[in-house]
Amino acid sequence: MNEKPDTIEWDGIEKRKSLRSMAESMVAGVSPDDIKAQPNEILLHELLVHKVELEMQNEELRKAHLNMEEARDRYWHLYEFAPVGYITVTREAMISQINLTACSMLNANRSKIINRRFPNCIIPSAQNHWHRMFLNIMQQVENDRHTFDLEMLRDDGTTFYAHLDCLKLSIEDGSPLLRISITDISKLKQAEADLSIAAIVFESKEPMMVTDAENKILRVNQAFTKNTGYAMSEVVGQKPSFLKSGNHQYDFYNAMWESIHQTGHWEGGIWNKRKNGEIYSEWLRITAVKNESGDVTNFVGIFSNSTNAE
């Protein structure tokens, strides 16, 4: 074998013999004749083989060192800039390690947060819950994962909701550590709160309808069903045009949607038709719901009794 390998493992006699063999093959052209060789020539050959062997070993060690540095750098970037925060807590609940993501979440410099008690990063009203969870995790024999949500405290006094994923670890001396991954779930909590409020409002006494951006019905409430006679299963996926009474001309609906598209809102009296064919008047308020990009995602219609329909 005349080519030098890219990598060589240094764990065993056989590997060392292989390296020796490769070194000898590389200096084969200067090998002394075994019969005529003088002792000094044999010694020179051995020294040359050993020199080549050392050069090969140094090259492989250099490559191994570079690979280790690259792996370390990759791990450093993955750890420091992970999409979640990583914090390591000692058995005394002191922060011993923290990545940049977690520092950003807490709005704190790493130098100021290392050796800080982790409970100090939690709002006072949630600290008892943390203490109970921490003691329970650290006292368990099995290193099971534990997850729970807490409201955490930033250095500037603001707060955020966090999902904590905790795993107990043990270092060489047997001391337990707690590795915590932190995900900011503030937007999720806000969305849940908004949905809860929306659900309460949606089930109000006023008939309500929610459509998608294409004006196809996604949901109606019980008051709508009671008022029109249509069950939710009958109207979901349909456009509200089935409510038209025939009392309004095209210009009426055209002006309605022009107002909605321009201002995001319309309200006025309207004649509609129930499932049983009864025509009745009511007051309708339509609001366009937009996302963060300004695109319309839904339309919400709220109906109320009126005797002033056009």
Contact, 287 vs 310, CB < 8 A?
no
pLDDT for 2 equals: 47
DSSP code of residue 244: B
Separation between Cα atoms, residue 183 and residue 64, nearest integer Å: 36
The rounded average pLDDT for each run of 10 residues, N- to C-terminus, in the chain (310 residues) is 46 55 58 53 66 72 73 74 92 94 95 95 95 92 87 95 93 84 92 78 87 92 95 95 95 96 95 96 94 86 73
**Three-class secondary structure of residue 309 per DSSP:** coil
Every domain of the chain with CATH number 3.30.450.20 lies at 85-189, 202-305
Contact, 224 vs 208, CB < 8 A?
yes
DSSP code of residue 117: B
Pick the CATH number of 85-189 from 2.40.50.140, 3.40.50.1110, 2.30.30.30, 3.30.450.20: 3.30.450.20
**Three-class secondary structure of residue 249 per DSSP:** coil
pLDDT digits 0-9 by tens, 244-255 = 999 999 999 999
Long-range residue pairs from 181-190, CB within 8 A, at least 24 positions apart, any chain:
181/84, 181/85, 181/86, 182/84, 182/85, 182/86, 182/87, 182/102, 182/105, 182/152, 183/84, 183/85, 184/105, 184/160, 185/149, 185/161, 186/160, 186/161, 188/161, 189/149, 189/161
Greatest Cα-to-Cα distance within the chain, rounded to the nearest angstrom = 125
Q: Which amino acid is at 122?
A: I
Separation between Cα atoms, residue 297 and residue 204, nearest integer Å: 22
Contact, 294 vs 288, CB < 8 A?
no
Only one residue has tokens 């099995």, namely 142
Question: Which ranges of the chain does DSSP label H, i.e. alpha helix?
Answer: 13-26, 39-80, 100-106, 110-113, 127-139, 186-202, 222-228, 232-235, 250-263
Contact, 237 vs 216, CB < 8 A?
yes
> Is the dihedral angle over the CA atoms 290, 295, 298, 301 positive or is it negative?
positive
CATH of domain 202-305: 3.30.450.20
pLDDT for 148 equals: 94
pLDDT for 158 equals: 95
pLDDT digits 0-9 by tens, 50-62 = 677 777 777 777 7
